[in-house]
Structure formats: C-alpha cells, structure tokens
Amino acid sequence: MARKTGSHSDITGPRVRAAAQRLIARHGYAAVSMRQIAAEVGVQAGALYLYTPDKQTLLYDLMRLHMDELLSALALLPEPADPREALQQFARFHIRFHLDRPEAVFIAYMELRNLEPENFAAIEALRRRYEDRLETILRLGAAEGCFVLPDAKLATLALIAMLTGVTGWFRPDGRLSGAEVEAIYADMALKAVSA
C-alpha cells in the first residue's frame, strides 16, 4: 500500500505545516518528533520529506511565514498623523493579530533559540522591522510632546512585551471578548507612555 486516495501535494503540504504548528506550539520544537507530526497528518514520517528538506526548515518556514504575514498586515495599516492615535491603532492591531493566531505567535516568540544562526538572523531582522514601526511612533510622539519616554527603545520593548503577553492567558470562551481585551490593552499602552 502507498499513495492514499485523493492525496495531493497541495493538500498535504499545508496540512504538514498546520500539524507542525499545532504540535510545536503545544509541546515545543525540541519535544515534537517528525513521527508525531506525521501521525497528526495521517502519514508516515518519511512522507514529510516531500514537503520539507528537514525539521529545522519546517520550523523556519513557519516563523518566516508568520513574520511575512505580520509585516504585510502592518503595511496595510494607515498611518495617522496624531501619535496618540497611531499608538492606539498599533496596539489594537497587535492584539487583534495575535489573538487570531495564538499558535504562530507563540512559536515566533518561544522557538527563536531553536533556529540555526542563519535562520535566527533572518527572523530577528523581520522582528526588528516590526518593532521599528512602534518605535517610530513613540519617537514622533515624544518629539511632539504628547509622550514622555526616558528611552524610546526600552518603551518599545516594554509595550510589545505587554501586548504580546495577552496570548499567554486569553481564551476565546473566557470572561472577556477579544474586542474588550483589545480596547483595554490599547488604553493601557497609551497611558503608559503619555505625559
């Protein structure tokens, strides 16, 4: 027995990535085996290598894809002239995007150290580009006098850590809706750097 009925590369490829994402988010890259991923897809381990050259690349592709999506979505955001509005918008975007993709986000922040140096550098560069957008907003606001920041870079990292932390506890069926959480976080972020 071999090829399954109705099987296609177009179907199995995404399913491999989806299974990898789910498992790695739950148990961590190092703790997940290729055989577990294969089992989740309903295939033997060897078949995975039709879709990825190796395990490391599978992880890298997940993170790379996520960062590309993040930056693409960010690029679509308008850029309000008012820094306060821009910050609120960024915060809301960040929360919304992260709540929609908890697994991808979790991996992007937790599995950096499991990337080989080259791959790490590539992802890190993308992450920097994202953070730069927030940092620019903060610097603009500071120049205009509506934000007070002893250190723009530090404030950037502090806000991102706070906003990203939402993925650690948010549950769709929990006490608060995504929209509520979004509003509260955006407000806290704004106040944290305001005059």
SS3 194: strand
- Does residue 45 bind DNA (CB under 7 A)? yes
| Rounded-to-integer distance, Cα 149 and Cα 31, Å | 41
Contacts 24+ apart (CB under 8 A), 174-182: 178/95, 178/96, 178/99, 181/95, 181/99, 182/91, 182/92, 182/95, 182/96, 182/99
Task: Report H helices in 28-82.
Answer: 34-41, 55-76
- Does residue 12 bind DNA (CB under 7 A)? yes
How far apart are the two ends of the chain, measured CA to CA in Å?
A: 69
- Does residue 67 bind a second copy (CB under 8 A)? no
Candidate ranges 53-61, 128-136, 149-157, 158-166; the one touching DNA (CB under 7 A): 53-61
Rounded least distance, CB 12 to DNA, Å: 4
- Does residue 14 bind DNA (CB under 7 A)? no
- Does residue 117 bind DNA (CB under 7 A)? no
Lookup: tokens for 103: 């697994």
- Does residue 2 bind DNA (CB under 7 A)? yes
- Does residue 6 bind DNA (CB under 7 A)? yes
Please check whether residue 162 is in contact with residue 188, taking contact to mean a CB–CB distance below 8 angstroms: yes
Whichever of 6 and 168 has its CB closer to a second copy, that residue is: 168
SS3 166: helix
Whichever of 43 and 155 has its CB closer to a second copy, that residue is: 155
Whichever of 42 and 165 has its CB closer to DNA, that residue is: 42
| Phi, psi at 98, each rounded to 5° | -75, -35
Rounded least distance, CB 22 to DNA, Å: 15
Residues engaged in binding DNA (CB under 7 A): 1-10, 12, 32-36, 38, 42-50, 53-56
Query: Where on the chain is the footprint of a second copy (CB under 8 A)?
Result: 26-28, 30-31, 110, 113-114, 150-151, 154-155, 157-162, 164-166, 168-169, 176, 180-181, 183-185, 187-189, 191-194
